[in-house]
Structure 1
């Protein structure tokens, strides 16, 4: 009679617990649609802030010829290429979701 509860624990409860947490682990590893929206908003904010920084640096440079921008390379082509690729991925993602 003592074997029945042990067998239930071994063959029912233990696999259920393991499968339950494996399922939780797999679902938590994915990015949600809310996360994607937040990432896109942050990306757009970063682009606007970068444009503002360029404007401020141009204004300060026009007033002070000795001014050196804090950023190493402003408007770098390699950075712009990566941004274009990212924007293309975002556009493809939006097109696929519609």
Structure 2
């Protein structure tokens, strides 16, 4: 009986169990490539925060330009030295 059982188990494992495991993990891998709903919500919140920060920065820049235009003793912003390395 053992002489017949071992080859049958080996064939079933080789042609059914191993491919099934491989396809199972491929499916999990593909599912993880997409964004989860929590990730999408987090990205949307980050996008809104970035847009709000961009609007605030634009407002600050326009206020700075107005104050520079009102103050004649300061050189224009474009002629100031920059410290970029």
TM value normalised by structure 2: 0.69
Large movers: runs of 4+ above 2 Å: none
Aligned alpha-carbon RMSD (Å): 1.5
CA shift, 1:40, in A, is 0.9
Q: Deviation of residue 46 (structure 1)?
A: 0.8
1:58-91: per-residue Cα shift (whole Å, max 9, x none)?
A: 11111224124xxxxxxxxxxxxxxxxxxxxxxx
Aligned to 1:39: 43
Is 1:22 aligned to 2:26, yes or no? yes
Determine the structure 1 residue equivalent to 2:67: 63
- Which is bigger in relative contact order (C-alpha 8 A, separation at least 6)? 1
How far apart are residue 8 of structure 1 and its match? 2.2
Higher-Rg member (1/2)? 2
Q: Output the TM-score relative to the length of structure 1.
A: 0.61
Question: Number of aligned pairs?
Answer: 68
> Aligned partners of 1:52, 1:67: CA distance in 2, in Å?
19
